[in-house]
Amino acid sequence: MRPGFAQLRVLDMDEAIEHYVERLGLDLVSKEDDGRVYLKCFDEFGRHSIVLRETDQAGIDVFAFKAENDDAMDGFRKRIEDWGLEVDEVPAGEMPGTGRRIGFTIPSGHRIEIFGEMELSDMAPETVNPHIWKGEPPRGMKAQRLDHCLLYGPNLAETQQFLIEALDFHVPELVKLPDGEPFAIWATVSNKAHDIAFVAHEEPGKLHHIAFFLQDWAEIGHAADIITQYNLSLDLGPTRHGITRGQTIYFFDPSGNRNEVFSGGYTAYKDHPQRTWDMENVGRGIFYYERKLNDAFLSVVS
């Protein structure tokens, strides 16, 4: 189980496609009759990992996780309902090449979906005597995969409890408010330092960023060159996160959705002690080199 896809709202589809395909380096998979556009990263096996929907307000419609198969998904459905959330089901084929999905709104106000089946892409990495890349070298920033998202919303303690109890996440890293409540959590269902993260915020359902994985710090520098070459809007970086230790840049797509490119990050295990931060040090936790939050971190754009 891992991040499966994110459906993002964009203001201008052509600009969005140029951004994600030429600048981030994703492959364009298909444009469908309902106007949605499907994309994938060069190193992903599934048919798509980013879905773009044109509308008049940026943001995220849904962040979806892939379960091992439909049975596993149905098992999660029962656990989610037992935990107390309402679950709906999206029929197979609502997205091309994608099986049934279950959906639910978590306490932070975000719609999360789980699906068990997705077609392998015919642009998937090679599996017989494979090369590092299939065909031409990756384009632009060379995004390898959708890595995680950072969401803003209320009810973080309940959100964390839900992720752990119903979905088998663990929380390798955490920022605590002076009253002991979580200000921010980093949660994973794998050995990656995070598959999803949350920051406490009054408004529900907000997106801070979606993140794509790059090979290393050298590629972070290369991404920064591209950001300026094409006059993309930079938020912050290149820098490192103290939390997760990932090396990073934050910038914006043309609609104002924040993107991150990210490399590194420690390997997380359930039996490792949790890392915790207090509010005096959170600046260094988020931006390890700058050691303070920027205004943009505290106000979400979309």
Active site residues: 148, 194, 209, 241, 250, 260
Nearer to a second copy, 107 or 265 (CB): 265
Among 12, 71, 82, 278, binds a second copy (CB under 8 A): 278
Taking the complex as a whole, the smallest distance from the CB of residue 203 to a second copy amounts, in Å, to 28
CA distance 177 to 112: 26
Among 33, 34, 86, 129, binds a second copy (CB under 8 A): 129
Task: Name the maximum alpha-carbon separation found in the chain.
Answer: 55
Nearer to a second copy, 9 or 251 (CB): 251
Tell me the window of 48-56, 77-85, 156-164, 188-196 that interacts with a second copy (CB under 8 A).
188-196
Residues touching a second copy, count (CB under 8 A): 65
Q: Per CB under 8 A, does 290 bind a second copy?
A: yes
96: helix, strand or coil: coil
Taking the complex as a whole, the smallest distance from the CB of residue 97 to a second copy amounts, in Å, to 15
Distances (CA, A) of 12 to 146, 170, 256: 21, 37, 11
Distances (CA, A) of 291 to 20, 274, 297: 30, 21, 13
Taking the complex as a whole, the smallest distance from the CB of residue 133 to a second copy amounts, in Å, to 6
Among 192, 201, 209, 258, binds a second copy (CB under 8 A): 192
Q: Which residues in 194-253 contact a second copy (CB under 8 A)? A: 215-219, 221-222, 224-229, 234, 237-240, 242, 245, 247
Strand partners, 59: 9
65: helix, strand or coil: strand
CA distance 101 to 74: 9
Among 19, 47, 201, 275, binds a second copy (CB under 8 A): 275
Q: Per CB under 8 A, does 296 bind a second copy?
A: no
* Strands 145-153, 206-213: pairing kind: antiparallel
Q: Per CB under 8 A, does 267 bind a second copy?
A: yes
| Structure-block tokens of residue 216 | 């290393």
CA atoms within 13 A on the CB side of 105: 11
Q: Per CB under 8 A, does 25 bind a second copy?
A: no
Taking the complex as a whole, the smallest distance from the CB of residue 59 to a second copy amounts, in Å, to 26
CA distance 122 to 134: 11
Among 56, 127, 180, 295, binds a second copy (CB under 8 A): 127
* Strands 59-66, 111-115: pairing kind: parallel
CA distance 141 to 146: 13
Tell me the window of 55-63, 66-74, 87-95, 155-163 that interacts with a second copy (CB under 8 A).
66-74
Give the contacts of 83 (CB within 8 A, at least 6 positions apart): 162, 165, 166
| Structure-block tokens of residue 21 | 């395909």
Nearest to 68 by CA among 202, 168, 139: 168
Q: Per CB under 8 A, does 100 bind a second copy?
A: no
- Would you tell me which residues interact with a second copy (CB under 8 A)? 2, 43, 45, 66, 68-69, 120, 124, 126-133, 137, 140, 145, 190-192, 215-219, 221-222, 224-229, 234, 237-240, 242, 245, 247, 263-264, 266-267, 269-278, 280-281, 284-285, 288-291
